[in-house]
Amino acid sequence: MGFIGFGWGIGGVITILLFAVYRLWPMAFELMGQSLSSLHWVALVFSILYMAYAEGYKGFHKSFAPRLVARASYLRSHASLGKIFLAPFFCMGYIYATRRRMILSISLTSMVVCFVLLVRMLPQPWRGIVDAGVVTGLILGVCSIFYYLVQSFVRPELLTVSPDVPGVTAPDR
């Protein structure tokens, strides 16, 4: 049962992220048909580079992806029907997490929702410029999840992130 929760948790989160890429891609791709000024090109390059670093590397690769895999690994060895059913939410830290982790997860999600609502109000090409950066960050995030997923099987000792579950301070697989 633990492997089902492990797969559903990671697979569910990857599906959510890829669905976001699928929804944002047309807005970013719409830039191809537009005449962009020098300012737009500079903003596009900045958006892609900044989001690759801030969202893709700092957010996903250094924080979210290793914790996601650590929580999924914890779930694999501490499975229960409820946790397995809600595995993507468990792996993202919304349920059965330390108070700090739940506050951080909910706060970050709330900020992302507010950001999405604000970006939707931007006219093209600005919305496409922002969306191109977000798509870049999300794709790097999915790649980071796969990286840590492979590491969890090949070299599990390298996954030293706490799963942030109540009563567990060190990695527990």
Residue 42 — φ and ψ, nearest 5°?
-65, -45
pLDDT band at residue 172 using 50, 70 and 90 as cut-offs: very low
Residue 23 has pLDDT above 80, yes or no: yes
* Average pLDDT over all residues of the chain: 93
The pLDDT > 70 percentage for the chain reads 97
CA dihedral 36, 40, 46, 51 (to 10 degrees): -80
Q: What is the Rg, in whole angstroms, of the alpha carbon atoms belonging to the chain? A: 18
Residue 1 has pLDDT above 50, yes or no: yes
What is the tens place of the pLDDT at every residue in 125-138? 999 999 999 999 99
CB within 8 Å of 108: residues ≥ 6 apart: none
Question: From the CB of residue 1, how many other CB atoms can be counted at a distance below 10 Å?
Answer: 12
- Count of H helices and E strands in the chain? 7, 0
What is the tens place of the pLDDT at every residue in 42-94? 999 999 999 999 999 999 999 999 999 999 999 999 989 999 999 999 999 99
pTM of the model: 0.91
**Most confident among 4-13, 26-35, 77-86 (mean pLDDT):** 4-13
CB 137 within 8 A of CB 47: no
What is the tens place of the pLDDT at every residue in 110-128? 999 999 999 999 999 999 9
